[in-house]
Amino acid sequence: MRCAKRVISFILALTMMVLLVPSYAQSDTATNGVNMLFTIDDATYIVNGQATVMDTTPLIVENRTLLPIRYVATPLGAVVSWDDAAQKVTIELAGKTIEMWIGKASALVDGQAVAIDPSNPNVKPIIIDNRTMLPVRFVSERTPKNARSRSFRIRPLFKRQIAT
């Protein structure tokens, strides 16, 4: 009798888990935003469980993570534009505008000058393999909280240092 109760309890618990976990996972992403995972020196990244391949890889420069910003901004609904003559990238998201120039250690956030990394003036946007690489922390900290992804992780595979 005890064994039968345990088996029935186990089957009931397992059934509840099978039925509830998929709906929890779907509602988590839908209500809380975008989940992203990038790996240093790996062109494959994951957005909401879907693996996608970039044409370049995230990397470490001056002990800061730089990413090809379009791959981060687009899933969040941002508009990214490039001004080739000025060597400037503009990111517009939820009423916020961030302007950054290649090789320049400061940016404009809603028209206000801001140091990209006050503790390290060598942290600047760069171009590698025809891709604009931006310091992801600077960009993510300046986007509105309601527009940020729910989960943004960068996983080290191994560090490839770029000399500046």
pLDDT digits (tens, 9 = 90+) for 16-44: 443 433 333 333 333 347 888 888 889 99
Residues 27 and 62 in one domain: no
**Residue 88 in domain:** yes
Residues 14 and 80 in one domain: no
pLDDT at 12 over 60: no
pLDDT at 13 over 80: no
- What is the per-residue pLDDT for 1? 58
What are the tens digits of pLDDT across the range 76-130? 888 999 999 999 999 998 889 999 999 999 999 999 999 999 999 999 999 998 8
The answer to whether 140 and 64 are in contact (CB under 8 A) is no
Element (H, E) at 13: helix 2-32
Residues 137 and 73 in one domain: yes
Residue identified by tokens 């390290």 is 120
CA angle centred on 26, ends 24 and 28, rounded to 5°:
65
Tokens of 150: 């729910």
Write down the pTM of the prediction. 0.70
- Domain limits for position 5: 1-32
**Residue 22 in domain:** yes
Share of the chain above pLDDT 90, in %: 40
Looking at the structure of the chain, the number of domains it has is: 2
- What is the per-residue pLDDT for 35? 86
- What is the per-residue pLDDT for 140? 80
pLDDT at 6 over 70: no
Residues 84 and 142 in one domain: yes
Neighbours of 37 (CB within 10 A): 17
Residues 67 and 16 in one domain: no
Residues 18 and 88 in one domain: no
Residues 73 and 144 in one domain: yes
Residues 61 and 141 in one domain: yes
Residues 26 and 61 in one domain: no
From the centroid of its chain, how far is CA 114? 21
> φ, ψ for residue 88 (rounded to 5)?
-125, 135
**Residue 161 in domain:** no
**Domain CATH for 73:** 3.30.457.10
- What is the per-residue pLDDT for 33? 74
Burial (CB < 10 A; 0-12, 13-18, 19+), residue 66, is buried
